[in-house]
Structure formats: structure tokens, C-alpha cells
Amino acid sequence: MKTCSMKGCNSKAAQGIKFHGLPKGDISKEWITFLEKSNPSFKLTKTCTLCGLHFDSDLDYEITPTSVFQTKQLKKNAVPSILNPNVFAEPSESLNCSMSSVTGALDTVIVLTEATEQNIVEIIPSTEKSSSDVSANRKRKCFVGDFKHIDEIDTPNRSSEGNTVTPELRSFALTLHFYSPAAYNYVRKTFKKCLPHPSTIHKWYSIIDGSPGITQESLNAIAMKVTEMKQKNLNLVCGLIMDEMSIREAVHFNGKHLQGYINYGHKVNDSDALPKATEVLVFLIVALNSHWKIPVAYFLINGLTAEEKANLLETCLINIHET
């Protein structure tokens, strides 16, 4: 279990507190200087960590653009500044009492009668009972079993049928589905379908004006080719090819909004907080029993994992299958 290397700090990972290892570079010297304030003989080790209580929650943390659930991360140039209040605590005055005061206190003895002792014995059980009742009542306030079904839990993002999806919920749904369709389906099932159906997510990827995403005109052209082959009593056989190409890193204004940042065809407002695109991922349909090929989608990216590429590939296949 991780513990804080600050002398006098008793924080543990089990308490839900974040822990940060010492960074590399010159900034690590400032961290070591901070640790030496409470322990002049501090020695750096590989397992040395500092808990988040020594950082300013507003100044030292930020929400990264690629964060799925908008969680705060420690800044690269953050330096600890908050000391444990118990490190330099003054000695307790109760420990500095003299022997004469202790002796004087012992000279005064309260003699209890048998009746008084009996009353105390009778009061103790009732006090214990009342305190246990209060403790039980406090626990009842946070007892999940009071809900007969999870549907009784009020979810503010739950939208009734026919209501439009808010931009915030749309952005969250697209981001969560992009990184993990399985997690998206679990969240949607658990919270009574408060998120749009996956088929709606697939439709959001469709683009008509040539922007990044799945091109609707290409899907319409493929549908026409399928109909043409059926008229000849033939089945159209195609292959889906994907490839990455490097592009120049640049941002420009097209008269409506900025272009040049990563874009997965979500129609979400561009933001200068997003990373700049350095590559383009293209999906191409090639007919195996005919003589044509057509690009069906492209995405502006800045490095993707294999799992993220697989999610985009699955989305393309679903849109093509539903055409």
C-alpha cells in the first residue's frame, strides 16, 4: 500500500487519496527541498511518493483534453506547497505539567457510595443502547438497500423519449463509446438507458459535407452498387482497407471554425485545447468482384492505440452493414 514520504503525514492509498511519484528533471530538486523541510535527513528512494494533500487542488491540477471522465491530473510543473499541519505542531501543554501538580491532583480523592456506584452501573447500559441506536440511524441514511430497484435512483441526465440530447451528454456519449463500447453499454444498461442507443452513435459518425467521419455519400453509392449487382443475380463482395498517412501539423480558420485539430467526425465544437492532428486514418472499400473502389471514412488523429482503431473499424463495418 502506498504511503506518503512526508514525515508526519499518515495518508494512505486506501483512503482514496492520489499519490504522485517524484518527477524527472530539475523540478525534482524542488520536491526534495520540500520534503527536507520536515525531515532534514531525507534520502531519495525509488518508492518515494507524495500524496495529493500537499498540492493546491485549484492551482496544481488540471483537466487534460484527452480525459474521458474529466478527471483532474497533476500538472507537469506542479510543486508541493502545503505542509502537514501536524508536522510542526507545538508540544502539548498537558505533557509539561510538573510533578507537584500531579501529586496535588492525587491528593484529592472522590469517594463514591455504594448507591452512586449502582446508579452508574444502571446508566451505562442505557447509554450504550442509545449510542448504538444513533449509529444505526446514521448508517440507515446511506443504506443502498432502501432502494428496491436501481431505477428509483434519480439520474439528472435521464432523458425521456423525444427529447433532444444536450451537447454535454452527446460529447460524453461519443467519447465513452469511442474508448470502450462495452463500458458504454454497461453504463447505459445500469442507469436505465440514460445514454443514446449505440445505433444513434453510429449515425452521428455519418458526414455529408466531406468533414472527417464516415461519408454518407459513399454509403449511398455502395447501396446503389449492391442494388445493381442484385439485378444481375449477383452478390457484391468487398474488402475494407485502412491506412494511416502523415499530414502537416497546421491550424487554419475556414470562415466558420478552426480546422487542424484531432477530429473523429463527432460534430463537436472545435477547441484550441485539443491536440493538433499529425496523421489521417483512411478507410477504403474495394470491390473484389467488380472494378471500383471508394473511400468511406477518414479521421484526423494524433496517435491511436490498437483498441481505439478497432473501435473505429467496428463503427465503419456497422454503418456499411446497415446501408
* End-to-end CA, the chain: 53
Listed residue (216, 229, 232, 204) closest to 323, CA to CA: 216
Q: How large is the average pLDDT for residues 136-141?
A: 51
DSSP state of 202: H
Chain segment 225-266, per-residue pLDDT in tens: 899 899 889 999 999 999 999 988 888 887 777 888 888 876
Exposure class string for 234-255: b at 16+ Cβ within 10 A, else e: eebebeeeeeeeeeeeeeeeee
Listed residue (261, 71, 273, 68) closest to 173, CA to CA: 68
Distance CA 49, CA 81 (A): 15
- Beta carbons of 318 and 288 less than 8 angstroms apart: no
- Beta carbons of 23 and 15 less than 8 angstroms apart: no
Strand-pairing partners, residue 124, are none
List phi, psi (to 5°) of 30: -70, -35
- Name the least confident of 21-25, 161-165, 171-175, 220-224: 161-165
Higher-confidence residue of 116 and 75: namely: 75
Torsion, Cα of 260, 266, 272, 274 (10° steps): -90
Distance CA 297, CA 213 (A): 5
pTM of this structure:
0.40
Which 3 state secondary structure label does DSSP give 316?
helix
User: At residue 206, does pLDDT exceed 50?
Assistant: yes
Residue with cell 480558420: 253
Domain ranges of the chain: 1-86, 167-206, 213-322
User: At residue 269, does pLDDT exceed 60?
Assistant: no
Strand-pairing partners, residue 261, are 276
The neighbour count for residue 35, using CB atoms within 10 Å, is 21
Q: Using 50, 70 and 90 to split pLDDT, how confident is the model at 112?
A: very low
Helix, strand and coil in the chain, % to nearest 5: 40, 15, 45
Tell me the three cell numbers of residue 275.
Answer: 491536440
- Residue 73, amino acid: Q
